[in-house]
Chain A
């Protein structure tokens, strides 16, 4: 599609919903002036699965495994956020040991997610050797997760009011061994990604998200931290066992003097977060107290079902997933074990808006790496579907405001 204005020709190219450079369906329409992207329009909504509606038809013990399957990569993050929401709503306590085990699994997942992302980023740049290398080393953490939880991907470890399996004395040395493996490896990964001239050429000053834009567009997770915004739920509003552990938000100035907010900075943040996660797991293993792990036995589980049925309330659960802040909201009525409302807000949803400043001024060839740089998870994000009634209508904020004013006037009579 071409559009001629003031002697220049602008083109619009659509990318997606399905496209080789996109792992999941998302539609973009780029306004181009020559090679340069002038503006971008993003249309999500191609992967809506109605998960929340399903969750409002069954009890929370059944929904746990549905929540986990919202995302294949950050599955334990959804479990933690969901079970924390239910625990807050119904006032169910969690024993300290279970909190430590949750932290360990969440951080192991962060290692696995960031290594996976690094591989995808290398692939988008055409560096497939690095893709195969990172995905091979990722197997080690997958094996540890399988050992601790019984499955490679959907761990089913966290339950409401605790965890379902304990980390035994025999498993601890194996976890430590895997952590040592990643510590040794990290130097190699940093060298391969951050000191590689080709990667520097392709990622420096590409997809820049300024500090101001990151704040204004409410970016979360590594996307925000790469722009210098010190934002991390684990630090800002500590939960689980995080208050007892030493951590601070990772920003790229730990590696190089200035913060640019480009794709290179996002690689720095994710690689440094692998190191941070290793440290956190080591601390958690050392500080983990002995004792109960929560609702793991038969009697406790039956009792939990009774509690869910009797009590009422609403609660939120937040968790710093590998991609950023994850938010679950749930509401219960008395005498019903089925929630009347469940809402999930995923990090990709918060980060989607930051695409626009990142794309402005970029070249067509930079599109895949910029799409990949926020680590988008579309399956997580698509919660809303627009009902079109045969035609499409978008309302601006002013129109909505005018409607609201009109309603106030109408009600006043």
Chain B
């Protein structure tokens, strides 16, 4: 029975998604910087837990999110009564989005967050 599976597989598309390119580029970084089209990642289902979105205007500064965050992502800025997120530490549990009384935190579908600098613009939300 397994032999039939192997022969069937010869005529099928491979199960692996060839991300980010069909063939391994010599240097991934220079490939990504060149701006050539990449093979898209596997689509995410609805309500996927991805990168956080922060609606600064809605935030009331109650600090509840910091109380439940398991990874110490959220820093309270007392002068402005707002919070700052250091996403390099985020574990994507979604607890802060659940507890926020003003619906100021949301989760997006974005998950490609690799970066050299953990304080880069992409990874610090304000």
Residues of A at the B interface (CB closer than 8 Å) are: 58-59, 61-66, 69, 129-130, 133, 136, 139, 143, 146-147, 150-151, 154, 156, 164-165, 187-188, 191-192, 196, 296, 298, 301-302, 305
Contacts and interface: CB of A to CB of B under 8 A. Distances in A.
B120 interface: no
B93 A65 contact: yes
Given A65-B70, A196-B2, A302-B64, 15 more contacts: A61-B68, A64-B70, A69-B91, A136-B15, A139-B15, A146-B44, A150-B47, A151-B92, A154-B92, A156-B92, A156-B93, A164-B98, A165-B47, A188-B1, A301-B98
Given A154-B91, A302-B64, A147 B45 contact: yes
A165 B48 CA distance: 12
A146 B68 CA distance: 23
Interface in B51-78: 64, 67-71
Nearest to A156: B93
15 contacts: A66-B70, A133-B2, A150-B45, A150-B47, A150-B49, A150-B107, A151-B49, A164-B94, A188-B1, A192-B1, A298-B98, A298-B99, A301-B68, A301-B99, A305-B68
B94 A150 contact: yes
A136 B15 CA distance: 7
Nearest to B64: A302
Question: Which of B1, B2, B100 has the most A CB atoms < 10 Å from its CB?
Answer: B2
A212 to B, nearest CB: 36
Contacts of A196: 2
A191 B45 contact: no
B99 A58 contact: no
Nearest to B49: A150
B25 interface: no
A269 B45 CA distance: 33
A258 B38 CA distance: 55
Closest 10 CB pairs of A and B: A150-B49, A62-B70, A65-B70, A156-B93, A147-B45, A192-B2, A191-B1, A65-B93, A136-B15, A301-B99
Nearest to A139: B15
Nearest to A143: B45
A65 B91 contact: yes
A302 B47 contact: no
Contacts, number: 73
B30 interface: no
B100 A298 contact: yes
B122 interface: no
Contacts of A164: 94, 98
Contacts of A59: 67-68
B108 to A, nearest CB: 12
Nearest to B91: A65
A302 B49 CA distance: 22
A302 B98 contact: no
Interface in B81-126: 91-95, 98-101, 107
A196 B3 CA distance: 12
B5 interface: yes
Contact of B95 (A58, A65, A147, A150): A65
Nearest to B95: A61
Nearest to B5: A133
Contact of B2 (A130, A136, A165, A298): A130
B6 interface: yes
Contacts of A129: 2, 6
A139 B42 CA distance: 12
Contacts of A296: 98
A36 B37 CA distance: 57
Contacts of B107: 150
Nearest to B101: A298
B121 to A, nearest CB: 25
Interface in B6-63: 6, 15, 44-45, 47-49
B50 to A, nearest CB: 9
A64 B91 CA distance: 12
A52 B54 CA distance: 32
A188 B5 contact: yes
Contacts of B48: 146, 150-151
A188 B3 CA distance: 11
Contacts of B95: 61-62, 65, 156
Contacts of A130: 2
Contacts of B15: 136, 139
Contact of A156 (B6, B49, B71, B101): B49
Contacts of B67: 59, 305
Nearest to B1: A191
Nearest to B92: A151
B99 A302 contact: yes
Contacts of B99: 298, 301-302
